[in-house]
Structure 1
Amino acid sequence: MARRTVSGIIASCLLVALVVVAAMLPVPYVTFSPGPTVDVLASVDGEEIVDVSGTKTYRDDGGLRLTTVSVTGPTQEIGLFQALSAWWDRDRAIYPRDAIYPEGQTDEEVRRQSSVQMVSSQDTAVAVALQELGYDLDPTIEVFDVAGGGAADGVLQVRDQIVSVDGTTITDTASVSEAIQEVGVGGKAEVVVRRDGEEQSFTLSPRPSPDDESVAVLGIVIGPGWDFPFDVNVRIDENIGGPSAGLVFALAVYDTLTPGSLTGGRDVAGTGTVNEAGEVGAIGGIQQKIVASEAAGAELFLVPAGNCDAALGAPVEEKDIRLVRVETMKQAVDALEAWADDPDADLPSCED
């Protein structure tokens, strides 16, 4: 065999080996893929996903789908070929990891943050729906998360409303922290909460913060809540988190409390955060959510105004799913009511 031929074979083998090694090395990117959609007007195992008790409700035809994105986690590694595959796939997207996750963030931190955001977004959504229906709501401070192994673990529960701490009436989140600091690490704090409409008192001993041992903490995440005139529960798979379903939750509660189908008996999907003023905020993964919704059979998709430019790039046909731009809860309700009356109605568009 000629020396040149041998050299060529060796070079080819080395090149193949180099490509294989490069493909196996992790790259600092995450992928976004279409995730499952959930009709929040449906039932699971005989229980309504949006369950309202204590007032008259209306169950109609039609669906309201919350949408999700499957995202690789902060510690999940992907190879070069996986990254290139996502880059070439029109239904998927790829982003630098540090654009999605802060440096050093763990899977557990992401899970807890996502869970807190889900609790907060659900309660805000209920408040927005009730305010749209004319209810006046009293604000409260409630528990969004209880850390395992913390002072409140096994004692306080998610959605407990904090009434007082060591005799101090709670009016905002800052007053909780101030009262706990007054008690100090190792002290005894009487915490009064309202749970299921009844006040309960617990004695807790604050522990040192993991970030600063001189700071006393109970191991809870708190935020603004509201006193609702009746019970509203949202039963969603615990693996679904984040704040992006806020608008859909609000619309589902509104539809459940009003006669007639808000969707005209058809299938609607959407996304977007919603704040207590009813303003709809932009989210991530809009194109993947639209793709998943079209595949699920949704005829209309509610797009936060801030996502419109990206939404227009989704690989779907306009004849298959209509994209409607929304800026507020009220605008979403008005658009759905107009569409229910006339599927060809002139609605706000991302192309406007």
Structure 2
Amino acid sequence: MTQRTWAGLLAVPLLIALWAIALLTPLPFVTYEPGLTVDVLGARDGKEIIQVEGRKTYRDDGELRLTTVYVTRPESDVNLIQVMEGWISSDEAVYPKRVVYPPGETDEASRKEGALEMVSSQDAAVAVALTELGIDFGEATKVFAVDPKAPAGGVLEVGDLVRSVNGEPITTPSDLEKAVLAAGPGTEMDLTVERAGTERTVSLTPEEKDGKARIGIEMLPSYRFPFQVTVGIDERIGGPSAGLMFSLGIYDTLTPGSLTDGGVIAGTGTIAPNGKVGPIGGIQQKIAAARQTGVELFLVPAANCREALGAASGDMRLVRAATMHDAVDALETWAEDPEARLPACTGEAS
């Protein structure tokens, strides 16, 4: 056997070993891939995603699609092959893990944060849609999570609006926290809560935890609307980036005629209570997801416009959306004339 043959035989297992190491060694990166798109004007499990009780609704043709990104979870490993695929693909992206997640982030913490942001974005979306329609509403405090082993367990429910404690009005989470601390451990409290549009009074007694009076709930600033609006999106979709599309979907559901004139629209962006559309991560992957589902027009947060221009958008028009009102104006203009001039993304900083 020649020296070259021996070298070849030795090289094969070494090469296999190197590839095995490349596949098994985790790298400190996170991959972004195009995710699902969901029509918020559509249905899920046989029920309309946007449900309204106490107000006339208008169900029309057309689609308003929120867009998502598949992101590596904080406790998942990414190997060299996955990183290389992400770098090569025009629709995927790779980022250092430290840029996406704080040190020590767990899957459960990330999921919980995403769920919290989703609930908050839905409340803001309803508020912004009603503001656009000139409908008044007030501030409130919503129960986001309940510890079943705490005093609130079996008494309060997720989604309850806390109206008052011992007759004193509650508007913000801070108001409720102060009321519990003032009562102290062992003192029964009467809470008036609104659940599914009906008020009721419940009693519970705070317990001492970490040296303070606690009742075992997590709260969110929210609103008290004159009628009930719920968004039944898949609980696996988290984060705040669907806020704009929720708001547009609610607005369309509460107004006659199709906001999209029967067309297929997609977009993304957080929504602030004042109607401002905020930036999101993974804009290029979201544009790719929309392109793959035949979307005609894509709404881009103003701060994401420069990055969006680098995406493979195909025949889609990229429309700059700085506020909810801007987005409504753009869609109404487009519905009247698909060739009309609309606010466009440019390479300039917004």
Partner of residue 334, structure 1:
329
Provide the residue aligned with 1:21 in structure 2. 21
Q: How many angstroms apart in 2 are the aligned matches of 1:207 and 1:18? A: 58
Of the three residues 215, 220, 235, the one matched with 1:218 is: 215
In the superposition, the TM-score normalised over structure 1's length comes to 0.92
Amino acid at match of 1:279: K
> Is residue 141 of structure 1 aligned with residue 166 of structure 2?
no
Alpha-carbon distance between aligned partners in 2 of 1:335 and 1:205, rounded to the nearest angstrom: 52
The match for 1:94 is: 94
Please name the residue that 1:349 is paired with: 344
Deviates more, 1:50-59 or 1:304-313: 50-59
User: Cα offset for 1:153?
Assistant: 3.1
What one-letter code is carried by the residue in structure 2 that aligns with 1:183? A
Structure 1 residues 343 and 327, CA gap change in structure 2 (3 angstroms) = same
Question: In structure 2, how many angstroms separate the alpha carbons of the residues matched to 1:148 and 1:8?
Answer: 65
Structure 1 residues 185 and 14 mapped into 2: Cα distance closer, same or farther (>3 Å)?
Answer: farther
Deviation digits for residues 88-111 of structure 1 (CA, Å, limit 9, x no counterpart): 111111111121112222211112
RMSD of the alignment, in Å?
2.0
Shift, 1:296, TM fit: 1.0
Could you report, residue by residue, the CA deviation over 1:85-134 in whole angstroms, capped at 9, with x for unpaired residues?
A: 11211111111112111222221111211111111111111111111111
More deviation in 137-146 or 242-251? Answer: 137-146
Question: Normalized against structure 2, the TM-score is what?
Answer: 0.92
Distance 1:166 1:54 in 2: 29
Q: Does 1:264 align with 2:261?
A: yes
Query: Match for residue 162 of structure 2?
Result: 162
Distance 1:191 1:202 in 2: 5
For residues 287 and 139 of structure 1, do their structure 2 counterparts lie closer, same or farther at Cα, with a shift above 3 Å needed? Answer: same
User: Is 1:196 the equivalent of 2:193?
Assistant: no
The alpha-carbon distance between structure 1 residues 190 and 103, as it changes in their structure 2 partners (threshold 3 A), is farther
**1:188–1:95 CA distance, 2 compared to 1 (3 A):** farther
Distance in structure 2 (CA, Å) of the matches to 1:107 and 1:186: 36
How many residue pairs get aligned? The number is 347
Partner of 1:44: 44
Asked if structure 1 preserves the Cα contact closer than 8 Å seen for 2:69 and 2:282, the reply is yes
Q: Distance in 2 between matches of 1:180 and 1:287?
A: 46
The yes-or-no answer on 1:280 pairing with 2:274 is: no
Asked if the contact 2:152/2:215 (under 8 Å) is kept, the reply is yes
- 1:82-121 to structure 2, matched below 5 A, reads 82-121=82-121
Measure how far apart 1:4 and its partner are.
Answer: 6.5
Deviations 1:126-163 (A, max 9, x none): 11111111112111111223345444333322221112
Assess if the C-alpha contact under 8 Å between 1:34 and 1:289 holds in 2.
yes
Distance in 2 of aligned mates of 1:144 and 1:111: 14
Identity across aligned pairs (percent)?
A: 52
1:236 is the counterpart of 2:233: yes
| Distance in structure 1 (CA, Å) of the matches to 2:220 and 2:115 | 13
Shift of 1:186: 5.4
**2:316 paired residue among 321, 339, 344:** 321
Specify the SS of the correspondent of 2:292.
helix
- Post-superposition offset of 1:264: 1.2
Shift of 1:208: 5.4
Equivalent position of 2:302 in the other structure: 305
- Give the secondary-structure state (helix, strand or coil) at the position aligned to 2:260: coil
1:14 counterpart SS class = helix
Q: CA deviation at 1:77?
A: 1.2
| Contact persistence 2:196–2:228 (CA under 8 A) | no
Q: Structure 1 residue 76: deviation in Å? A: 1.1
Distance 1:32 1:152 in 2: 39
- Alpha-carbon deviation of 1:9? 4.1
The residue number in structure 1 matching 2:178 is 178
Task: Call closer, same or farther: CA 1:314–1:229 in 2, change over 3 Å.
Answer: same
Distance 2:12 2:231 in 1: 59
